Structure 1
Amino acid sequence: MNIGKAIKFKRKESGLTQEELSNGICSITYLSKLENGKLDSQINDETLNLLCSRLGISQEDLTSDSEELLDLLFEWYEKVCEEDLSQCAELYNNVQKKIRYSSNYETAIFFELFKLRYFIQKKDVGESIKIHKDIDQKIDLFTPKQLYFYHKFSGYLYRERDMLKKAEHHLHEAIDLDQELKINEPDLYYLLGIVQSRLGNYISSFEYLHKAEVLYSDLIDYNKLFKINIIISINYILLGEYDLSIEKIEVLLQQAKKLKKEVNTVAMLKHNLGYAYFKKERYQQSYNILLETLEMKGKSIGVSVDYLITYYVYVQAFLHLNMGDETEVNHAIQEGIRMSEELDKKEYQIKFTYLNYKFSTNSTQNETLTFLENTALEYFSTRGDKDDYKHFLLEVVKIYKEKKMYKKATHYLLNYIEI
């Protein structure tokens, strides 16, 4: 146990500056050297006692062994990875009670890290952000293994917040550490496979998903292997391999029936199937499948982000089929805007708002272009979502062509080609 790091951890936890802790005990320089392990001579026992007293701990607390508590922490973390939220909650309460009596800073850091992962799993983004900010203040105290977890869980959080480039950065940092530490957690590679897919880096996505597949196969985790194949089928759609995707999804639907998968999983597969048919321009088939999917999701989870994603593709199929009059079209789009705002999903607020501009008889081409250039392109470019960015680039190109402004159209078309 590094005594200096333990002092630094307890000082930060107590909200004290180096000046406040050292006042009347030692110089700030001495404390700084102690905390950073740079004292040339042996640590003065009396000084250490005084520092501990001000921190409300004993010297023994700095070096106390917490192996039993650490084992409990990792048991809790394993349950979080298994997505067993009922047992997670029980273990969290148990760990929380015991951690209060531990002054071991390494154990306390693991607790904060695993707590971050737990609240991400619970989809409590607000609390996760708060925990993440607190952890950021202690990053210089981390061991390599703790730094690995920090980057991995940061990747989870940024992916949850749709900050894909930041998620990618942290997950790559975690993989670099994994090469050294040989932890080999498959969910790291699975998550990076998803993020790379969202960023439009499909070859990288396949590579990371394959690595995850090998690791999950060793663990005989059929549930995760099933999920990997869902992401692979989505990649096929995004690569334009619609028939391959449809074939794979049909097989997965049969497996889901045999394995008695929950309604949400079947609904996800149905959504992907409807989306594949939409991309194939088989709008009636897409519409029918997506309508069924919305009914399934509505009954099982109600209005949620998953429901909104399906609703967006459904509305597009509806518009392509020219199924409704102007009032019905407007109602469908306004409902999408309302749900997007209610769920605070900016990307879908932008997508539905664009549909509103596109299909409203009151909108001018100039108003639509202003929205596309100043809002849609800026947002999706910053976020790093290549597919959506490319989609809106082409929409801009179409409008400039209609306006016979070919220089502008060429400018945006070149941007599209460069991606």
Structure 2
Amino acid sequence: MEYGKVLRFHRVKQGLTQTQLADGIISPAYLSKIENDQTVPAIEVLELLYERLGLDFQEASYNHPSKEKLKEWYESIVFKRREDAQQLQEELLQQKETLSNHHLYIFFELFRIRHLLLENQVEEAYEVWEDIRQHKDTFDEEMEFYFHLISGILKYYSTNFDESFQELMEAKNYSSSLELEDWEYSDLFYLLALSTSQANHISASVFYADQALEIYQTHYDLAKSADCHIVQGINYSRLKNYAKSLENFHLARKIAIQTEDIVQLRLVHINIGTLESRIENHQSAIKNYEKSLEYNKESDSNFQALDSLTTIHGLIIEYYRLENKEGCLKWLNEGEKILHSFPSKSYELHFAVYKKVINQSENLEQYLEDIIIPYFQEKKEHVYVIRYAMFLADLLENQRMYKKSSTYLRLAIQLLNKHSHLGGILL
């Protein structure tokens, strides 16, 4: 039993200093050594410290409650069984050990973060994470695994994809010394596939998605298999293997129709639309983008709103490339309606650019130079820096501002050389 970690956990949780806990029992310096597992104190000392913290020393020392229900709860969260997850959480909260036992409390809070994300309570999830990480120096290896995995998910939510990948790799390192179940390994591999795909480590994403898919298929998990096919479709599209990309999207679509998963159907058609746009099949891109919007439902989900904004942005691009001003304005209006309820600075700027282009605004070049390109450079969204830099270079060249034009053309070329999979489609 790691008494020191338990003492430190409960002391910090109760807001006590080492001096306050040690007062009249031992010196603060000696308590510090106990908390850091640098010494093993007498049983009598431990009993007094536990008593001051309101803990039962015998119970805390010899009875380690089972984590089976916690793991059952966590599994229901991972597999998005919302009703089961809610019921199990309520049952766990009725057990006093859940919040009073050091080990159970840490696992409960870590799993609760993922439950909050499942319920789209993102801000509260970050608050719980901030609170639990103050106890990090009391974690064992299993706690470290879940902490890094959950941290990776939170980094992904905040679009820090490289940091997400690093956190998930830390979790993977800890997993080697643990006895995880297959579904936990597949979950880890799938999360790694997502983060590496978004961080543009495409080969790594293909590798991890294949590993996850192999486990999901072994266990006949259709929904998770479809998720993997969507990620692989995106990866192969970026690698310009469009046939392989479409093959994966169609497999995902087939499964989603069978399981009636409208979220997956929406994602499949968004991504097929993006692929068709890449190969300049504009009408097919429009058809798929509009099909994806048919799978929207009444929801306050940030993810659905983001998907809708992404789709509408794609539709605006396609109508612009077809020189269809009416189509552009129609979808600009639809996009602005969504922004009223779900503000997004990035899409606000995208839509503002198209409005200026359609209205032939005189300050378009200045707007791109002073606002748009610096914003996406700061966000490290290289695809948009490339896109807007190339567009600005063309505008400046038409005005015979060749020196300035070449500056932005060089910027786009440098980024294309570094991130060749991104492409540089004009607006």
TM-score (norm 1): 0.89
Question: Given the superposition, is the C-alpha separation of residues 386 and 152 from structure 1 closer, same or farther in structure 2, using an over 3 Å criterion?
Answer: farther
Secondary structure of residue in 1 paired with 2:240? coil
Partners of 1:410 and 1:317 in 2: CA distance: 23
Which of residues 78, 94, 99 is equivalent to 1:97?
94
1:266-287 deviations in whole A, cap 9, x for unaligned? 2222222222212221212221
Q: Which amino acid aligns with 2:13?
A: E
Q: Within the alignment, does 1:87 sit opposite 2:84 as a pair?
A: yes
Question: Given the superposition, is the C-alpha separation of residues 105 and 307 from structure 1 closer, same or farther in structure 2, using an over 3 Å criterion?
Answer: same
Question: Given the superposition, is the C-alpha separation of residues 266 and 409 from structure 1 closer, same or farther in structure 2, using an over 3 Å criterion?
Answer: closer
Which of residues 44, 48, 51 is equivalent to 2:49?
51
1:391-416 deviations in whole A, cap 9, x for unaligned? 44544544554531255135412243
Partners of 2:306 and 2:230 in 1: CA distance: 18
Partners of 2:305 and 2:89 in 1: CA distance: 27
Cα displacement (A) at 1:291: 1.9
Partner of 1:320: 321
Partners of 1:24 and 1:33 in 2: CA distance: 17
Partner of 1:172: 169
Partner of 1:295: 294
Cα displacement (A) at 1:335: 4.2
Q: Kindly, what percent of the aligned residue pairs are identical?
A: 23
Q: Does the 8 Å contact 2:65/2:97 carry over to 1?
A: no
Partners of 1:25 and 1:300 in 2: CA distance: 57
Secondary structure of residue in 2 paired with 1:75? helix
Partners of 1:360 and 1:23 in 2: CA distance: 74
How does 1:138-149 map onto structure 2 within 5 Å?
138-149=135-146
Partners of 2:291 and 2:409 in 1: CA distance: 41
Which of residues 147, 152, 165 is equivalent to 2:149?
152
Partners of 1:67 and 1:282 in 2: CA distance: 60
RCO higher in structure (CA 8 A, sep ≥6): 1
Question: Which stretches in structure 2 are left out of the alignment for 5+ residues?
Answer: 420-427
Partner of 2:264: 265
The RMSD of aligned alpha carbons is 2.6
Question: Given the superposition, is the C-alpha separation of residues 392 and 51 from structure 1 closer, same or farther in structure 2, using an over 3 Å criterion?
Answer: farther
Partners of 1:228 and 1:104 in 2: CA distance: 37
How does 1:229-244 map onto structure 2 within 5 Å?
229-244=229-244
1:329-362 deviations in whole A, cap 9, x for unaligned? 4563354245246324343334333334444422
1:355-404 deviations in whole A, cap 9, x for unaligned? 3444442233122211133212211x1xxx55445444544544554531
1:34-71 deviations in whole A, cap 9, x for unaligned? 111112xx523443333223212232243152333x11
1:200-248 deviations in whole A, cap 9, x for unaligned? 2111110111111222233232221122111111122222333443344
Q: Does the 8 Å contact 2:234/2:245 carry over to 1?
A: yes
1:147-172 deviations in whole A, cap 9, x for unaligned? 01111111111112222122111011
Which of residues 100, 107, 111 is equivalent to 1:110?
107
Question: Given the superposition, is the C-alpha separation of residues 354 and 406 from structure 1 closer, same or farther in structure 2, using an over 3 Å criterion?
Answer: closer
Question: Which stretches in structure 1 are left out of the alignment for 5+ residues?
Answer: none
Question: Given the superposition, is the C-alpha separation of residues 251 and 47 from structure 1 closer, same or farther in structure 2, using an over 3 Å criterion?
Answer: closer
Q: Within the alignment, does 1:285 sit opposite 2:284 as a pair?
A: yes
Q: Does the 8 Å contact 1:3/1:62 carry over to 2?
A: no
Give the stretch that moved more between structures: 292-301 or 142-151: 292-301
Partners of 2:55 and 2:254 in 1: CA distance: 60
Partners of 2:286 and 2:245 in 1: CA distance: 18
Question: Given the superposition, is the C-alpha separation of residues 208 and 101 from structure 1 closer, same or farther in structure 2, using an over 3 Å criterion?
Answer: closer
Partner of 1:305: 306
How does 1:19-418 map onto structure 2 within 5 Å?
19-39=19-39, 42-68=40-66, 70-99=67-96, 103-181=100-178, 183=180, 185-257=185-257, 259-298=258-297, 304-325=305-326, 329-330=328-329, 332-333=331-332, 335-340=334-339, 342-362=341-361, 363-379=363-379, 381=380, 385-399=381-395, 401-402=397-398, 403-404=401-402, 405-409=404-408, 411-412=410-411, 413-418=413-418
Partners of 1:311 and 1:407 in 2: CA distance: 31
